[in-house]
Amino acid sequence: MRRLGFIIVTALTTLTTLTPAVYAAAADNPTNVAHRGASADAPENTLAAFKLAGRQGADMFELDVRETKDHQLVLLHDPTLSRTTNVESVFPDRAPWPLSAFTLEEIRRLDAGSWFGPGHSAERIPTLGETLHTMKGRGMGLLLEIKDPDQYPGIERRVAAELRKNSWWLQPGRLVVQSFDWRFMRTFHHRMPRIPVGLLGTPAVSQLRTLSAYATQINPPYQYVTRAYVNRIHRLGMKVFTWTVNDRNDWRRLASQGVDGIITDRPGMP
């Protein structure tokens, strides 16, 4: 029942019947969000990781969006390419290999899977558009994180344009956009007011009422979650998605504290 009854952003078999009650998670059964896909078992932020997350039972997959030198939206967690690609061997003279110094054409030359393990050499850094197209209708919703938006002036316009081109994701219950930059998320909310907004971090209780004017979720690290904090957020009409939880005992404790979603590298764990 986990994949049908309460899912925050799950696309049901009949696409037009996806429930608008996207945050109605069962009290003891939070929404299962695959962090950068099933990133414990596949290279993070790749199509392989997102597809595997679905097979492992995720209700939703999370990804990270950044921009290339030529303003193309691609999926990468780090500001540099060195950790998750073979950029050092392909472009040895361009250290420290910041993503923002490379065009999409150059990035397409990189192997984004072999660092994780043998058998993943075919993986490439996907664009946001490729991901939205490929993952449409696969039974999961999307938690889209915009990384360091201050480094990419205008990125909110480009993300909004890409989402409008892939309008399937704009139906109620299929998408949440989040960032650590709360001011940026207020700007994004004004641009796309129907898209739920998540704020990463742990705002002080005194800030919550102000943030609730535009935020739909407060998404703190799991170490800082208490039942009292969750209750305060719920009373203001927002939900709590916490990260990054890879231990079953932590999962059970957080579920008992009433969180609405748990972000994990291991979506097959629960």
Q: What is the pLDDT of residues 76-111, one digit of tens each?
A: 999 999 999 999 999 999 999 999 999 999 999 999
Evaluate whether 181 touches 153 at the Cβ level (below 8 Å): no
Give the dihedral of Cα atoms 186, 172, 45, 48; nearest 10 deg: 180
DSSP bridge partners of 74: 66, 127
Q: Which residues are catalytic?
A: 35, 77
**How many angstroms separate the CA atoms of 99 and 138, rounded?**
29
The average pLDDT across 236-246 equals 98
pLDDT of 181 over the 70 cut: yes
The average pLDDT across 113-128 equals 96
> pLDDT, tens digit, for every residue of 4-36?
333 333 333 333 333 333 444 555 799 999 999
Evaluate whether 241 touches 261 at the Cβ level (below 8 Å): yes
The average pLDDT across 40-54 equals 98
Closest CA to 75 of 140, 137, 162, 12: 162
**pLDDT, the chain, mean:** 92
Would you kindly state where each structural domain of the chain is located, as residue ranges?
15-79+125-264
**How many angstroms separate the CA atoms of 32 and 262, rounded?**
6
Q: Does the 15-79+125-264 domain belong in CATH 3.20.20.190?
A: yes
Evaluate whether 18 touches 174 at the Cβ level (below 8 Å): yes
Evaluate whether 189 touches 212 at the Cβ level (below 8 Å): no
pLDDT for the residue 28:
74
> Which has more confidence, 10 or 159?
159
pLDDT for the residue 20:
32
The average pLDDT across 256-260 equals 98
**How many angstroms separate the CA atoms of 85 and 185, rounded?**
29
